[in-house]
Structure 1
Amino acid sequence: MQPEPHASYAAAFAPALLDPGSEVPSIVTGPCGKSAVTCYNVYRNNVTVSLIDALASIYPAVQRLTGEDFFRAMARFHIREIPPTSPLLFDYGRNFPAFIEGYEHAQSLPWLADVARIERAWLDAYHAADSTTLSPSALATVAPDRLASLVFTVHPATRVVRSSYAAVTIFAANRGTAAASTIDASVPEDALITRPDADVVVQLLPPGGAAFLACLMSGCMLAEAAAAALEDEPEFDLATNIAGLFEAGAFASLTSGDAR
């Protein structure tokens, strides 16, 4: 089967858009068959600027931390290395945190990639499917000898981002308009991202909370998740973590693991 004419044209037209060193495709012509190099370069620039603007809207804290000029230069390199694969602009930039981690000129900001991961998780939580949140009263219906085998289904918006740096505090200080205070960036922090109502919430998980929730998200029973959390953090407090996760709207439902 022969490709549709417009598909063939697009396949020839698009690849050079994000590579300023590429020649203008020969199929691009102006009136009367004249060269359209200038017009194509204008379109090429507009595409790049649109993608940079999309990244800036997804990662505002990262841009605030680096400054606009640095951010836009970094974003331009990212766009050339990893072009979009989806027509949805909000879906672009999933690889940006990993790109930042390896970006030569960002090595003096080792926490920047994790801040970007929190921002990406924020957007994904915002676009996640709607669901009711599980009420703490649901536990009251479970017999004490069944608690250990409970399996929780997390809310579709629930996300966890672990960091060796104070990424949650840095994110919070730079996502809004308030001036940032002095932060000890070397303190490890784990982020919980939820959307209990209409608004996305990012908060700091207590010690062991990230390991606990990650295990629950993978299908572990409550006892298994608690054991994983205690291995990760000997001071893990099960009651505090369960209460905090319910309050944050992290869960959608629960079942008994005995039925597996």
Structure 2
Amino acid sequence: MSITIQTRFAGALLDTDQAIPEGLAAWNGPRPKRRFQVYRNNVAVGLIGALASRFPMAEKIVGEEFFAAMAHEFIRRHPPRSPLLLNYGDDLADFVETFEPAASVSYLPDVIRLETARGRAYHAADAEPLDASILASLPAARLPALTLTLHPSVSIIRSAHPFVTIWAMNVGDMDFAPIEDWVGQDALVVRPRMTVLVQRLPPGGAAFLYALGADANLATAVEKAATEAADFDLSANLAGAIQAGAIAAIGFRENGNE
């Protein structure tokens, strides 16, 4: 096929609104339109399956039929740019935010972001989590200048919805029950060793970890967290991050210097 036919072929393959490209008869034998349609259907089914395997809880929430229709529209607008589908769908959450039929499921994009982060964590570089005893041995006077390097697998996701609870119910970590306190939640996703963990963060926890991830020292990170949550608990947040394996290394920074 020429480059022009290849371009038309690729465009029509994923967009059923486009006509089947001309010039296929010599390339594809008899009945090229029928053959092309079969190939088009197989490609769409394969890509929808790839997205469903990446976002199983999103599919469970909206149902297979709705998810397939939504995924098909995503594929039409955002076809894969690589034969490697490991990261295909990383921008699905942004698409769903503007997908009108899903507007009533307002928390769905954040559930998808959580599943995206889980996949990213699974494939992230390995690193040994910090041993809690190292912090315990530090002089109290040095703690304000302490910097904490986040584990390579860490993602922090913030939402105006209780998406961690919704995800946990659908994955089976919690029993299904009405959510009476519909408030926003923040999540930590991390894979300290072999298993990807999802942990709901306490008040100020996301701001605290964001600051640490931006290379702020402990004093600055606490200040940012306390500005957001007056009841920020440093001990609980620090212990939670260490226990989850979200901290990989320490350093020190005072007045902008190492």
How high is the TM-score relative to the length of structure 2? 0.92
1:44 is paired with a residue whose SS is helix
1:182 is paired with a residue whose SS is coil
CA distances 1:91-136 after superposition (whole Å, capped 9, x unpaired): 1111111111111111111111111111111111111111111111
Provide the rounded CA distance (Å) in 2 between the counterparts of 1:26 and 1:138. Answer: 68
AA aligned opposite 1:60:
P
> Which has the higher mean CA deviation after the structures are superposed, 103-112 or 140-149?
140-149
Distance 1:170 1:33, change over 3 A: closer
Provide the rounded CA distance (Å) in 1 between the counterparts of 2:106 and 2:136. Answer: 44
AA aligned opposite 2:209:
L
2:187 is paired with a residue whose SS is strand
Residues 1:138 and 2:134 are matched in the alignment: yes
| 2:13 equivalent in structure 1 | 17
How many residues align? The count is: 256
> Which has the higher mean CA deviation after the structures are superposed, 150-159 or 12-21?
12-21
| 2:183 equivalent in structure 1 | 187
| 1:215 equivalent in structure 2 | 211
Residues 1:251 and 2:242 are matched in the alignment: no
Provide the rounded CA distance (Å) in 1 between the counterparts of 2:209 and 2:82. Answer: 31
Provide the rounded CA distance (Å) in 1 between the counterparts of 2:27 and 2:221. Answer: 67
Deviation of 1:137 (Å): 1.4
Distance 1:66 1:179, change over 3 A: farther
| 1:156 equivalent in structure 2 | 152
2:177 is paired with a residue whose SS is coil
Distance 1:150 1:178, change over 3 A: closer
Deviation of 1:6 (Å): 8.3
Provide the rounded CA distance (Å) in 2 between the counterparts of 1:152 and 1:182. Answer: 38
| 1:201 equivalent in structure 2 | 197
Which of 58, 68, 76 is the aligned partner of 1:62? 58
Kept in 2: contact 1:167–1:185 (CA 8 A): no
Provide the rounded CA distance (Å) in 1 between the counterparts of 2:173 and 2:240. Answer: 27
Residues 1:167 and 2:167 are matched in the alignment: no
Residues 1:91 and 2:116 are matched in the alignment: no
Structure 1 spans left out of the alignment, 5+ residues: none
AA aligned opposite 2:183:
V
Deviation of 1:175 (Å): 2.1
Any residues of structure 2 matched to 1:103-118 within 5 Å, and which?
Answer: 103-118=99-114
Provide the rounded CA distance (Å) in 1 between the counterparts of 2:28 and 2:235. Answer: 76
Structure 2 spans left out of the alignment, 5+ residues: none
Kept in 2: contact 1:165–1:189 (CA 8 A): yes
1:196 is paired with a residue whose SS is coil
AA aligned opposite 1:164:
A
Provide the rounded CA distance (Å) in 2 between the counterparts of 1:6 and 1:122. Answer: 41
AA aligned opposite 1:175:
V
Provide the rounded CA distance (Å) in 2 between the counterparts of 1:178 and 1:238. Answer: 27
Provide the rounded CA distance (Å) in 2 between the counterparts of 1:119 and 1:191. Answer: 11
Distance 1:8 1:138, change over 3 A: farther
AA aligned opposite 1:225:
A
2:60 is paired with a residue whose SS is helix
> Which has the higher mean CA deviation after the structures are superposed, 166-175 or 102-111?
102-111
1:151 is paired with a residue whose SS is strand
Provide the rounded CA distance (Å) in 2 between the counterparts of 1:207 and 1:31. Answer: 62
Among all aligned residue pairs of Structure 1 and Structure 2, give the percentage whose two residues are the same amino acid.
42
2:65 is paired with a residue whose SS is helix
Distance 1:154 1:244, change over 3 A: same
CA distances 1:183-203 after superposition (whole Å, capped 9, x unpaired): 237221111111122010101
Kept in 1: contact 2:168–2:174 (CA 8 A): no
RMSD, aligned CA: 2.1
Deviation of 1:20 (Å): 1.0
